[in-house]
Chain A
Amino acid sequence: QVQLQESGPGLVKPSETLSLTCTISGGSISSYYWSWIRQPAGKGLEWIGRIYSSGSTNYNPSLKSRLTMSIDTSKNQFSLKLSSVTAADTAVYYCARGEIVEVPAAIRLYYYYYMDVWGKGTTVTVSS
């Protein structure tokens, strides 16, 4: 079955760029959305953004000015870069697969988005 694995430095200095990669195994990168979500220790989940297999992106406006996502279909990988990091960016970072499913209701179709496959997460600490 499809598995995702996050990789990247576990420690990043303040003001530097956090870079993470998610490698997909057991499935295709094509025709799915690929997302990043983070979770500070003891806190809730924050949706960071997503990239489609075509390369189109949607970012969380709160992070957009510092965020870049990219995808490499030849390597079955997608990546996140978050610049000018501070201690507030310390968190567990998860990658996840997003899918849109078609659900009929009455006389029309509805399209719902959800994230159904997640990586195990990687801890990133921002500290000097």
Chain B
Amino acid sequence: DIQMTQSPSSLSASVGDRVTITCRASQSISRYLNWYQQKPGKAPKLLIYAASSLQSGVPSRFSGSGSGTDFTLTISSLQPEDFATYYCQQSYSTPPFTFGPGTKVDIK
């Protein structure tokens, strides 16, 4: 199975900050990488697919980049509703489509 790691595991930031979360795959996954946002007690929400394609309805302050093994999710100006946990997920080749362990973004 392809293993996914994320860094940092948690971070504290202020409204208006630029936030960057990194995801790394244990082998090359081209651009088969999705990002999800999960708020406490809620289901995950798709933000980004194919490494950098913004899901419909997601604010443009969210962006994704990367290919191969290293990927980044960036929030250009953190808003109050963005405090949540973010997960990457690989969808390369054969399942299982593993998730990263998550990055919790909370208020500084």
Residues of A within 8 A of B (CB): 37, 44-47, 49-50, 58-62, 94, 96, 101, 103, 110, 112-116, 118-121
Contacts and interface: CB of A to CB of B under 8 A. Distances in A.
A44 B95 contact: no
B55 interface: yes
B59 interface: no
Contacts of A116: 46, 55
B63 interface: no
Question: DSSP class of A's interface residues: helix, strand, loop or mixed?
Answer: strand
A67 to B, nearest CB: 11
- Chain B, interface size category, equals 20 to 34
A44 B43 contact: no
23 contacts: A37-B44, A44-B101, A45-B36, A45-B44, A45-B99, A45-B102, A47-B95, A49-B96, A58-B94, A58-B95, A58-B96, A103-B50, A103-B53, A112-B31, A113-B91, A114-B89, A115-B44, A118-B43, A118-B44, A118-B45, A119-B43, A120-B43, A121-B43
Nearest to A60: B96
